[in-house]
Amino acid sequence: MRTRYFFIIFAYCFILQANAQTNNNTIVNDGSSWSVLSRGSADGTYLCTDYYYFDGDSIIGEHSYKKMFSCNDRLHENCSYQGLLREENQRTYFVYPASETEYLFYDFSLEEGMIFEFIHLFGEYTYTDMLYVQEVGFVEINGTQKKRIQFSEGDTWIEGIGHLQGILYPMYYYGLTGVRYFLLCYYENNELIYKNPEYSECYYDGIFSSVQEIANNDYTIFLNPVDDILNISYLNSAILRIEIFDMLGRKVYSQSYKNTIDVSSFSKGLYLLKAYGTNSTVSVFKIIKR
């Protein structure tokens, strides 16, 4: 009889523990997906929507991760691998593609007055930003109370959804003044759970009103936004090397200087171009592939 009672108590505790672990999941849940809008140029004339979702698992060391992908077309045919995510104790960790080092992306155990250290990975470099927790509360999402963390810098996290600018953007990228990101919609098992009240749709495609040119004292880059060929000219110094990075910090192009760069194979979106000059300077430009 004691054995039977012990088994019942053990099973009950196991169920409670399993439920607790499930309820503690804040971001990484099967069936979750996000549509994220990027708006480029000062007047918002460039629009692009990326769809993020989980598909498959991976193991690094003792940890199990879920693979994240994104698609930048309405039919979700043009998709690419974005990295790995896992959760533990209300914290979400991210592993960038071609890396085995994980970085803390979200921490929903934060309380008011605490500081969150977010490490950016950009190419081969990392740097740290500090976010000060201004307010912790709850917000109703689709009939369910979700924890909401608001930072003094203007960033907002919502439990289960992530940052209101998109799942892979846990803080605003203030240096990229020409583009902003906005979470349009969040789904669970294809059911719409959250919809941005500022937008009427969950998907927008590219809209352009003009062709722009980027220039500084040494370089001129055109046309931008670009479809196929990006042209570069220099005035006062020679260019030794050109490198292009996507918004996750991955180097997608690198070679000695040429006047033209064929970007026709690039996925549409925002990129950073670095021009290394003979005078030991590095100039950085934002380019938009449409």
Could you write out the three-class secondary structure of the chain?
A: CHHHHHHHHHHHHHHHHHHHHHHHCCCCCCCEEEEEEEEECCCCCEEEEEEEEEEEEEEECCEEEEEEEEECCCCCCCEEEEEEEEEECCEEEEECCCCCCEEEEEECCCCCCCEEEEEEEECCEEEEEEEEEEEEEEEEECCEEEEEEEECCCCEEECCCEECCCCCCCCCCCCCCCEEEEEEEEEECCEEEEECCCCCCCCCCCCCCCCEEEECCCEEEEEECECCEEEEEECCCCEEEEEEEECCCCEEEEEECCCEEECCCCCCEEEEEEEEECCCCEEEEEEEEC
Rounded-to-integer distance, Cα 67 and Cα 52, Å: 10
CATH number of this structure's domain 212-289: 2.60.40.3080
Flag whether the pTM goes above 0.85. Answer: no
Count of other CB atoms within 10 angstroms of residue 257:
16
Q: Which residue has the higher pLDDT, 17 or 154?
A: 154
Higher pLDDT, 155 or 47: 155
For the segment 37-56, what is each residue's pLDDT rounded down to a tens digit? 887 654 445 678 999 999 99
Mean pLDDT of 107-126: 86
Q: How far apart are the first and last CA of the chain?
A: 71
**Residue range 188-205: average pLDDT?**
88
Does the pLDDT of residue 176 top 50, yes or no? no
Using the predicted structure, report yes or no on whether residue 109 has a pLDDT greater than 90. yes
Mean pLDDT calculated for residue range 51-65: 95
Q: Which is more confidently placed, 244 or 81?
A: 81
- Residue-level pLDDT at 40: 65
- Give 177-187 pLDDT, tens digit per residue: 456 789 999 99
Instruction: Give per-residue pLDDT as tens, 208-252.
Output: 433 343 444 456 777 777 888 888 877 655 778 888 887 666 788
Residue 120 β-bridge partners = 127
- Please report, for residues 29, 65, 107, 144, 167, the alpha-carbon distance to residue 93 in angstroms, rounded to integers and kept in the order given: 13, 9, 9, 24, 12
Which of 45-54, 109-118, 137-146, 234-243 has the lowest average pLDDT? Answer: 234-243
Q: Percentage of the chain surpassing pLDDT 70?
A: 78
Q: To the nearest whole number, what is the mean pLDDT of the chain?
A: 80
Give the C-alpha separation, 26 to 109, whole Å.
10
Lookup result for tokens 């069936």: 31
Annotated domain spans of the chain: 23-195, 212-289
pLDDT tens for 8-26 read 444 444 434 434 333 455 7
pLDDT of residue 71: 92
Q: What sign results for the dihedral spanned by CA atoms 138, 163, 82, 74? A: positive
